[in-house]
Chain A
Amino acid sequence: MNQEDAVNRAIEDVVDLHRNRFTLLKEAKKPKIGWVTIYTPEEILLAAGVIPFRLTGEVGLNSTEPSAILGNNYCSYVLSCLGEGLAGVYDFADGIIFADACDMRKRLWEAWAREIPSNKSYFLEFPNDASDISKEYFASQLRKLIKILEREYECEITGEALRQSIKVCNESRTLMQRLFKNKKGERLALSGPESIQVVKAASTGMKESFNTKISALIDVLETAEQPPARDRHRVMICGSYFDHSEIIETIEGAGADFVCGDISNGVKYFEGNIDLNSDPVTAIADYYLEKNTSAYRLDTDVRVEHLLDLVEEYQVDSVIYYALKFCDTNLHDFPYVKEKLKEEKIPVLFIEGERNTTNFGGTKTRIQTFLEARMF
């Protein structure tokens, strides 16, 4: 096998975890619980012997029924997830955990509880700041969740079990941080669409398997001969739930690189690590509240500071702000974020879209025009 084939094979190996997730999850002899926000403490679910997997809304293409339940003018990620649930896509799961990460996901929880009673639904309170008061409260909510899981699965979630699952998740995060690190002039290890697929693979809950596969990928990449350097315009995407290979392909087709996604299918998922030396529940609570730099976080400046840090770290030239239609918090934040980026002379393009759109014509032209004006 030549080098290129070996790299491609290793990438495919990781991505297969996502592609085949339904089969793999169904086969796994463990209980499974789905989640809809990256602020769900997967570590606690893993410590209970549960596989925590993400709902991606990818196969919930029929929005008629969910729209009748929640409304037409609703976030399409939320509608797609509900569509999947109504279609029985998650019948293999014991339940779904909904953390309070935006108003529409709260409504999704309520609708799920009513309409899909075969899946248990859990609701986790999630403060929108990271004050000491909020951290203490969130930790109390995590303890409550632990009790519920202990009762449900007749197990004891010990400190040791939590430390063990933190270790596994920290390892996943560290490996992804290593894989995704990139500098100006370097050729990226993964294409944009591949990078999204890798993060999606990480969120399928099969952590150990993911860690093995991604380690193998990193090994192959590190031992392979480095491709010649290339200096391309560097683009970051931020905003709502994002999973559009067409948009990334347009960026790459225009001769730019997608170097960083400040999105839940990007760095937001694998940033930071949980402190293994403190009380595990406190450490988990602190980690998730501090890591929250999404639009749900009330203070937009925290988000902006984080965005600017990433711009610096990844040497970003321009930003695409992607908002799902009707995603209120991201729509509210945009004028402010745009102003702040403008102050730093960072060009930004605003794009609105839907979870499962197929018509990209207009968006494609806008991206091309935006990038061409900055690249040539």
Chain B
Amino acid sequence: MLQETIGQERQIQYQNLLNLVGDQRQDTDEDKPLLKASQMRSIINSHRMMQAYREGSRVAYVSEQFPSEIAFAFDMIPWNLESMAIMLAQSVDVDRVFKLTQEHQLSRDICSFLRGPYGMMMENCYPTPDFVLTNTQPCEGLSKVGLISGKGYKAPVLALHAPNSIDEDSLSYLVKQMEHMMSRMEEDLGIEVGPDSLKSVVEYSNQAREYYNKTVQLLRSNSLPDVSRELQEIFGMNYFGVKENARICKVLYEEAMQLAGKETSKRKRVLWIGQVPEESHEILQHMREVVDIVYWAPLWDANMMMLDEKDPLKSIAERAILYHWDAERTKVETSQICEDHEIDGFLIANVWGCRNVMGISQVLRDIANSKKLKHLTISIDLVDRNNYAFNQVKNRVDAFLELLQ
């Protein structure tokens, strides 16, 4: 599509987005001082959102754990379908969005992280993408949403299929797919992205990762709940590959260093497993009064992986496979997280419609039982509030918190 036309479309889409802003506003911890890293991230997030609606920007819809380095090597703004769903759920009239998906006969049994973007696209308030880049993580539904969005916007859909096993065949299969993806992008855009572009992106990715990992180390022996939350946000934003993200990670590490050791009262630590609500969500507010919440996802091995600067695609491939919630690997990894972070209990958040968290919950409960940790599994919907009420889970959360004390 002509850039000019895309630009006009995006202006309309931006207006549509503003029109969709709902009346209800979620409560926020207004008085709570934010970490500097969080403030930076929030500014960068807003900036990239604005940029994505501009004429001339290159936008790629991506799935949650898509290797963003590829998008950045092409100077694209990755529009993360799943994270955007939760971000926008805080400010737009989601009921209207979900009504629209129902009118189109998209089943309500599908996870709302997937129905959300689908509805937003129907409302025509996401920016027209230049590409849709998907992979099979974290679920096949997300690749389907990517695919359908590409068809809707007539944008090329380039997909990666990440196998489950880590061996030479699987790695080289993924590397070939990425090479093919990149050459298709070059062809379509009529540009050549030399190895230097990927190299510098990978360097930024590693710089960020280095600070990220050091921050995770600090989390182990210090009570740093806000830092844990910020790591979750950084993971969700998946902006590895740009300078700004490296700066956020560095600042976060410096702040974590300053905060480390200051909090002396040792509170119980609960590992929050599964999808994470926005920070002001009532469950989190409620739990934070009593325990420290440590988020599971940012601590995965895949998130600690440094990329091999000499052979980046191969290490990106390995990371992609590691992102699968393979039961056996998850077991080993989560057990290690429990030990490293001195976890006292698990909260498993089963998002309505997420077969992956549901399918792996038994493994997680087994780990908790074998380590004699308390655990609670709750059903929750973080985007579609019609599917969830705090009252329904509050009593169980309270009982769990009591057990922990």
User: In the complex, how many angstroms separate the beta carbon of A199 from the nearest chain B beta carbon?
Assistant: 25
| Bound complex: CA A196 to CA B353 (Å) | 30
| Bound complex: CA A338 to CA B106 (Å) | 11
Please indicate the chain B residues that have their CB under 8 angstroms from the CB of A140 in the complex.
Answer: 169, 173
Specify which of B144, B165, B176, B359 is in contact with A333 (CB 8 Å cutoff).
B144
Please indicate the chain A residues that have their CB under 8 angstroms from the CB of B136 in the complex.
Answer: 128
User: In the complex, how many angstroms separate the beta carbon of B376 from the nearest chain A beta carbon?
Assistant: 16
B138 to A, closest residue via Cβ = A103
Report the count of interface residues on B (CB-CB < 8 A).
44
- Whether B327 lies near A114 (C-beta < 8 A) is yes
Given contacts A71-B361, A331-B106, A333-B144, whether A129 and B355 have CB atoms under 8 Å apart is no
| Bound complex: CA A137 to CA B174 (Å) | 10
Q: Is the interface of A mostly helix, strand, loop or mixed?
A: helix
Please indicate the chain A residues that have their CB under 8 angstroms from the CB of B328 in the complex.
Answer: 110
User: In the complex, how many angstroms separate the beta carbon of A363 from the nearest chain B beta carbon?
Assistant: 16
User: In the complex, how many angstroms separate the beta carbon of A357 from the nearest chain B beta carbon?
Assistant: 16
Task: Answer whether residue B140 sits at the interface, using C-beta atoms and an 8 A cutoff.
Answer: yes
Specify which of B144, B161, B356, B362 is in contact with A332 (CB 8 Å cutoff).
B144
Given contacts A328-B110, A350-B105, whether A125 and B144 have CB atoms under 8 Å apart is no
User: In the complex, how many angstroms separate the beta carbon of A343 from the nearest chain B beta carbon?
Assistant: 13
| Bound complex: CA A332 to CA B105 (Å) | 10
Lowest 10 CB-CB distances: which A-B pairs, in order? A107-B359, A71-B358, A110-B327, A332-B144, A137-B173, A331-B107, A125-B163, A140-B169, A335-B104, A133-B176
Please indicate the chain A residues that have their CB under 8 angstroms from the CB of B107 in the complex.
Answer: 323, 331, 334, 352
Task: Answer whether residue A336 sits at the interface, using C-beta atoms and an 8 A cutoff.
Answer: yes
Please indicate the chain A residues that have their CB under 8 angstroms from the CB of B359 in the complex.
Answer: 70-71, 74, 103-104, 107, 110-111
Task: Answer whether residue A292 sits at the interface, using C-beta atoms and an 8 A cutoff.
Answer: no
- Among A41-87, those with CB < 8 Å from B are 68-71, 73-75
Task: Answer whether residue A123 sits at the interface, using C-beta atoms and an 8 A cutoff.
Answer: yes
Task: Answer whether residue B402 sits at the interface, using C-beta atoms and an 8 A cutoff.
Answer: no
Residue ranges of B at the interface with A (Cβ–Cβ < 8 Å): 104-107, 109-110, 114, 134, 136, 139-141, 143-145, 147-148, 151, 157, 159, 161, 163-165, 169-170, 173, 176-177, 180, 326-328, 350, 352-353, 355-356, 358-363
- Whether A106 lies near B164 (C-beta < 8 A) is yes
- Whether B353 lies near A129 (C-beta < 8 A) is no
Report the count of interface residues on A (CB-CB < 8 A).
49
- Whether B355 lies near A298 (C-beta < 8 A) is no
- Whether B356 lies near A70 (C-beta < 8 A) is no
| Bound complex: CA A104 to CA B139 (Å) | 10
Please indicate the chain B residues that have their CB under 8 angstroms from the CB of A114 in the complex.
Answer: 327, 362-363
User: In the complex, how many angstroms separate the beta carbon of B62 from the nearest chain A beta carbon?
Assistant: 15
| Bound complex: CA A73 to CA B109 (Å) | 8
Please indicate the chain B residues that have their CB under 8 angstroms from the CB of A328 in the complex.
Answer: 109-110, 139-141, 144, 353, 355
- Whether B355 lies near A73 (C-beta < 8 A) is yes
- Whether A69 lies near B148 (C-beta < 8 A) is no
- Whether A134 lies near B161 (C-beta < 8 A) is yes
- Whether A111 lies near B362 (C-beta < 8 A) is yes
| Bound complex: CA A298 to CA B148 (Å) | 10
B172 to A, closest residue via Cβ = A137
- Whether B105 lies near A141 (C-beta < 8 A) is no
- Among A257-301, those with CB < 8 Å from B are 296, 298-301
- Whether B145 lies near A125 (C-beta < 8 A) is no
Specify which of A68, A103, A326 is in contact with B140 (CB 8 Å cutoff).
A103
Given contacts A102-B140, A325-B109, whether A107 and B177 have CB atoms under 8 Å apart is no
